[in-house]
Amino acid sequence: MTTYTWSFPQFDTAPSEDGLTNVVKTIHWRLDAVDGEYSAGGYGSVGLDAPSPGSFVNYNDITEQWAIDAVSDKLDVTAAKTALDNQIEQQRNPPVVPTKPPFNAD
């Protein structure tokens, strides 16, 4: 069974925008997958829409779940997980393997 783990190494913020402070503009994300002895990872960034004052979350109140939700709104998470699953499957069953030529056998 594959376990997926999100991490968020950086947010890019606007110090001030439309009367709001520390407005998250870009989230840099990483999604890692582990299945037994096999692992794969993907990373990227998503730009966020300008927040509305009524739904704005203060920077110090941002949670990991908020970041997951914000990224999930902009990213095809199913496709990202499928890509990681494919990487793991290729590790498990490599489509190409290095092989010595028969005339160089040791």
User: Over the chain, what is the mean pLDDT?
Assistant: 95
Distance (Å, rounded) from C-alpha 92 to C-alpha 90? 5
In a domain, 20, yes or no: yes
In a domain, 99, yes or no: no
Tell me how crowded residue 103 is: count the other CB atoms within 10 A of its CB: 5
- pTM for this prediction: 0.86
Strand partners, 46: 27
pLDDT for 46-74, tens place per residue? 999 998 888 899 999 999 999 999 999 99
Of 54, 66, 65, 73, which Cα lies nearest the Cα of 24?
66
- 58-73: buried (b, 16+ CB within 10 Å) or exposed (e) per residue? eeeebeeeebbebbee
pLDDT, residue 29, reads: 98
Give the total number of structural domains in the chain: 1
Of 45, 56, 72, which Cα lies nearest the Cα of 17?
56
Segments forming the whole domain that contains residue 7? 3-94
